[in-house]
Amino acid sequence: MNEIETVKKWFKKADNDLNVARRIFKDQNEDELDIVCFHCQQAAEKVLKGYLIFCNTEPPRTHNLAKLCQLAMEFDNSFSKLLDASADLTPYAVEVRYPD
C-alpha cells in the first residue's frame, strides 16, 4: 500500500470517529458525553498520525495529542495553534473509558 492510501485510511477512521461522536452528542444524553469526548480524541489522534505519515514520519505509538502536535509542528508551524487544545483533549483517550 502506498503512502497516500495509508493516509486516506487514517483520515477515514478519523471521520468515522467524528461521525459517531456527532450521533451520540445529538442524542444529548449527558451520561454519554465521555464517549463523545473519547471519539473526538480518537479522531484528532488519527488525523495527526495520518498527517505525520503524509510527512514521511512514522507516528509514535501514543495517545498524547500534544506530543503528536509538536511532531506535526516540525513540518507546519500552524499546528502550534492546536497545542493547548490537544493537551486538553489527550486525557479522553484512556481516562474516560473506565469508571471513576
Q: What is the CA radius of gyration of the chain?
A: 14
Predicted confidence (pLDDT) per residue in 19-31, tens digit? 999 999 999 888 8
Question: What CATH number is associated with residue 76?
Answer: 1.20.120.330
- The whole-number pLDDT of residue 9 equals 97
- The whole-number pLDDT of residue 78 equals 97
Q: Average of pLDDT values for 13-41?
A: 93
* Cell 509514535 belongs to residue: 60
Share of the chain above pLDDT 70, in %: 98
- The whole-number pLDDT of residue 79 equals 97
Cα first-last separation, the chain: 41
Q: For the chain, what is the domain count?
A: 1
pTM above 0.85, yes or no: yes
Domain that holds residue 62: 3-97
